[in-house]
Amino acid sequence: MWIKLSKLFYILLVLYYGWFQIIFFQFPNMLLFLGAGMIGFILLDSLQKRKNIFRYITRELLLWFVFGVTSFIFGLMIAVDYTNLINALSTFFQFLILIWGIVYIANQDGNINFFVDVFTGYSIISALTTLFWGIDYGQGRISMGLSNNPNTLGITMVIGIICILYRLNLKKTGYSILAFLSIMLLIYVSLLTGSRKSVLSIVLLLIYWGHDLKCL
């Protein structure tokens, strides 16, 4: 039960951070509340199952933690504004904790399908929002909102395509058709953003996927 509640908070976190606050408005400390909820339910799950939470700290997370601590130490020596230093590192460590939570949930599930599906849904919602209610960002480029850089939106489309291809099962005809339609939507929106790097990434991604599919 705790993991399901943690997943719910993660879904709300992604949608609020990447979509709701861009399209509508911001709630004070909402990201902190959703992140704390996700991690809090994970801690309850670990207590119930008597799991050692430290075993889910990967080497990559440990290295990033060391990087953060080192940055803090050197920052105290050279930073002009300590407030900016503290705020930046606070956000950095919060993201590390969220990544730890993702590792924990993925370990319990035995796969990353949940997170792939969440990002797929988020990218499609972002694409549809841009397509029907997008705003002119200037120079013929569109985005979801003025606070949403077209290049960032383009990256979202690229990662969304990666997630769809990751879960694609060509043996399921109906699902395959829906997946390809979704990919076409994401490609079209990526073109509307005017992000050349995103378009190039999509082209290379599809070439690689087609070659990999041919080799199977």
pLDDT tens for the 216 residues of the chain, in order: 899 999 999 999 999 999 999 999 899 999 999 999 999 999 999 999 998 988 999 999 999 999 999 999 998 888 788 888 898 899 999 999 999 999 999 999 999 999 999 999 999 999 999 999 988 888 889 999 888 899 999 999 999 999 999 998 888 888 889 999 999 999 999 999 999 999 999 999 988 887 666 655
CB-based contact 109:116 (threshold 8 Å): no
User: Considering the entire predicted model, what is its pTM?
Assistant: 0.91
CB-based contact 7:105 (threshold 8 Å): yes
Phi, psi of 63 (to 5 degrees): -65, -40
Reading the block at residue 5, the tokens are: 């509640």
Tell me which amino acid residue 134 is. Answer: G
**Residue from 104, 77, 151 nearest 143 by CA:** 151
Strand-pair partners of 143: 135
CB-based contact 4:114 (threshold 8 Å): no
Reading the block at residue 137, the tokens are: 């960002």
